[in-house]
Amino acid sequence: MENKTAVVLVVDDMAINRSILSSMLASFRVQSDLAGSAAECLECCRKKHYDLILLDHRMPEVDGVETLVHLKELFRRDGTETPVICHTAESAKENINLYKAAGFADVLFKPVDPEDLSRILLTYLPEGMVEGIVSSDQKKKVESQLAILPVWLKSVPKLDLRAGLEHCGDAEDYLTSLNVFVSSIHEKSDEIDAFCKAGNWAMYSLRTHSLESMAELIGAKELADESAKVEYLSRQGENAELPALTKKLLDHYRSFEHLHTHFHKIEEPDDPVKQPYRKPNDFKTVLFVEGAHGMVNKGIINKLQEAGFRILCVPDDPAEILEHRQDADFWLYYPAGDTEHIHLIASHISELCEDDNRILCLVGDALDIAEAKKIHNPERITAEYARPIDMDAFVEDMLAFSNMQYESCRTKTIFLIDDDPDFLSVTERWLKEKYRVKSFRSGSEVLFYLNSSIPDLILLDYIMPGMDGFETMQKIRQIPRAHDVPIVFLTGQSSREDVLKILEKKPDGYLLKSIPREALLSSIERLFQDLLIKNNTLK
């Protein structure tokens, strides 16, 4: 019997802390859901069972201990039990026995050390689940993609193809990443050798750090470990052993160079598929499913038309609704009739809206709205407006929903900043599946470009020559037009000390370079969704 994927609930009122833990869990191949408060935590646990909960102690309104009490009661009623780990600042270490006495299974201190997190996962996840951290579906995908890889590649020593496929997602992306890695071996190995002989340990540590990230990506774990070791020694000033260790490292690195004969020249990645350009007003079409007719309907239609909306009215008939499902960006449903009919139509509409990512609102009599919400996915309903309707507030909400749909569908622009051209090339290919991407090799390059173009997100390496990630972030935030652009560090720095340093700089997020492709794309999508909700919260 195959093991199922571990799912952890992360509860913290600070978005950056949630982002850090989510990224770390993803690097362990563990799925996570995020909650920003006690109320969100309890709501998540009512809807879904979790294998582990990481619960912040110091939260406003309801703290971790009180939240734990509510969780224990919920578990008791449901006949379930989930280990709850107290996630708190290291300054509270002296209270560790108090936290355990309160009912927490264990304590995880901030900033989180990856080794501590690994211990927690190994200790508290159900037996066998750590080995099954990669989901059975993903395992099947990896095996199927492994079969696609060319035969010559399967005999290459010191290359874990499964690990590479888990990072890259599929055979095509893995081969592309391996091609990028192999194509730069000659140039990069000569650079590392020259920096070592010249005693330029600052640049030496930067280049070996980049090598570690790329080696990890393609599944060359032993090479990554050797790179990490010499990088650490160079940063600590322990240079006596480095010439010998560097020779061994470069011999290992160059042993992959012969693979270049199997690859063709790398072509520039294509731009993402261009969608027809749509202006904000293009998102002002409403599909009004009318279960009843009368003055209320006419009042709604008139008010929306005055605000510039186009209204497409259809009867509450499944065939009619299906025919017009693609004609509008959000839907209104006026439920009426017997309860069986309302349940049928509400279920039909909610499933279509979920499939097509449409906003769904209910209007009408309170009792009929209550019946319409008795479906398996009521969370699909964004808002409800029972009679008598405050038309001004209703129209204001509809305008906000229109803007939300526009922002949700608009192709976002991401600036990617890293001094390693190999990492830029691979990550840009991943992101261009969905986003417009502009890559930069240094902070000074992106600062110049920000004079003419502002992105939706900046992904920034922390350790770079010259202007490092922190200084780059400071200068970006001094530009009035770019002040509010979210900045997320995408870095290989994962030690406890490095995480603490980065947290002190207060970025908008923190992701590890070891994060697999799908987890990276999911994290970015979640960030954009959080920003959308934050910027369009209805008053």
* 3 state DSSP class of 73: helix
Note whether 116 and 59 are same-domain residues. yes
CB of 352 within 8 A of CB of 315? no
Note whether 182 and 285 are same-domain residues. no
**Which string of DSSP letters, residue by residue, matches 371-425?**
HHT-SS-GGGEEEEEESSP-HHHHHHHHHHHHHHHHHHHSPPEEEEE-S-HHHHH
Does residue 271 sit within a domain?
A: no
* Other beta carbons within 10 Å of 144: 12
d(CA 64, CA 92) in angstroms, rounded, equals 13
- pLDDT band for 274, please (50, 70, 90 cuts): very low
Range of the domain at 369: 280-409
Q: What is the per-residue pLDDT for 18? A: 84
CATH number for the domain that contains residue 294: 3.40.50.2300
Note whether 184 and 82 are same-domain residues. no
Does residue 132 sit within a domain?
A: no
Quick: pLDDT tens for 142-163: 889 999 899 899 889 999 999 8
Give just the sign of the alpha carbon dihedral 262, 268, 269, 270.
negative
Mean of pLDDT values over 54-63: 85
d(CA 253, CA 420) in angstroms, rounded, equals 16
Note whether 11 and 79 are same-domain residues. yes
Note whether 88 and 108 are same-domain residues. yes
d(CA 82, CA 86) in angstroms, rounded, equals 13
CATH number for the domain that contains residue 147: 1.20.120
Give just the sign of the alpha carbon dihedral 422, 426, 429, 434.
negative
More confident of the two residues 414 and 101? 414
How many Å is the Cα radius of gyration of the chain? 26
Beta bridge partners of 331: 287, 360
Mean of pLDDT values over 75-81: 85
Report the amino acid identity of residue 365. D
The pLDDT of residue 383 is above 50: yes
Quick: pLDDT tens for 447-498: 988 988 889 899 999 888 889 889 999 999 999 888 889 998 888 766 666 6
Tell me which H or E stretch contains 516: none
The pLDDT of residue 267 is above 70: no
pTM: 0.64
Give just the sign of the alpha carbon dihedral 43, 45, 50, 54.
positive
The pLDDT of residue 277 is above 50: no
Among candidate residues 95, 124, 153, the one where a domain is terminated: 124
CB of 487 within 8 A of CB of 508? yes
d(CA 399, CA 115) in angstroms, rounded, equals 48
Among candidate residues 409, 444, 471, the one where a domain is terminated: 409
Residue 194 tokens read as 């020259």
CB of 75 within 8 A of CB of 56? no
Among candidate residues 235, 262, 289, the one where a domain is terminated: 262
Phi/psi at 447 (5° precision): -65, -40
Q: What is the per-residue pLDDT for 131? A: 44
Note whether 174 and 143 are same-domain residues. yes
Note whether 320 and 404 are same-domain residues. yes
Whole-number percent of the chain with pLDDT over 90:
41
3-state secondary structure 245-275: HHHHHHHHHHCCHHHHHHCCCCCCCCCCCCC
- Number of domains forming the structure of the chain: 4
More confident of the two residues 215 and 4? 215
Note whether 167 and 112 are same-domain residues. no
Does residue 1 sit within a domain?
A: no
Note whether 371 and 290 are same-domain residues. yes
